[in-house]
Amino acid sequence: MTSVYFKNQVDQIEDLLFGFAMKLTKNRENAKDLMQETLMRGFQARERFKIGTHFKSWMTTIMYNSYINHYRKRKTRNRVEQPIEDIVHLSNKPTTEGNGEQVVLRRELNGIMNQLDLKYKKPFLMFFQGFQYDEIAADMDLPIGTVKSRIFYARKQLKQMIIKQYGDDTLRRA
């Protein structure tokens, strides 16, 4: 599909797309952002559009998938929802660093984690620190599926090592 043909088709359904974006987001600014992303993705994928396919359906599917992807990211991303001023009181609480039992347990768990092979340990630690799968994949120059697999196996190995060290009922109490 040529860019001229794409623009002509978009001009015909632009109001419909914006209405669909408003229905999904229920916010004018977010609808504009979703509309822009949809048009960008559609334009980038215009070579994959098959003439004879219903253009409106193709574009609304792109929009819906973009919306779902953003919804999932917002749902799973670790964020602080409160202003920092509202959580300052947390810094006044005593830490567990002085608790001897906690210090020993933390050292033992670090020792268990250090037993992991580096190819499993690094992606697991990055994920634990809040990095997204795609960020880890880019940092390690690996496919995203490999990163997910290595994190899964790291969890599995850690679970087995913890059970071996502390017993099976330890994980049930956590």
CATH code of residue 147: 1.10.10.10
pLDDT on residue 79: 56
Question: Does residue 55 lie within any of the structural domains?
Answer: yes
Question: Does residue 88 lie within any of the structural domains?
Answer: no
Question: Does residue 93 lie within any of the structural domains?
Answer: no
Which runs of consecutive H residues, i.e. helices, occur in the chain?
Answer: 3-25, 28-44, 55-76, 100-114, 118-128, 133-140, 144-166, 169-173
**Alpha-carbon dihedral 68, 72, 75, 76, rounded to 10 degrees:** -170
Question: Does residue 70 lie within any of the structural domains?
Answer: yes
Same domain, 18 and 50: yes
Same domain, 62 and 122: no
Based on the structure, what is the number of domains in the chain?
Answer: 2
How does pLDDT run across 82-98, given as a tens digit for each residue?
555 555 555 555 555 55
Question: Does residue 126 lie within any of the structural domains?
Answer: yes
How does pLDDT run across 5-60, given as a tens digit for each residue?
888 888 888 889 899 989 988 888 888 998 998 889 988 888 888 777 788 888 88
Same domain, 120 and 159: yes
Residue range(s) defining the domain that contains residue 169: 99-173
Say what the pTM is.
0.43
66 burial type by CB count under 10 A (0-12 exposed, 13-18 middle, 19+ buried): buried
Same domain, 71 and 8: yes
Same domain, 62 and 120: no
How does pLDDT run across 87-139, given as a tens digit for each residue?
555 555 555 555 777 777 778 878 888 888 888 889 888 888 888 888 899 98
pLDDT on residue 152: 92
Q: How confident is the model at residue 148 (pLDDT cuts 50, 70, 90)?
A: very high
Question: Does residue 154 lie within any of the structural domains?
Answer: yes
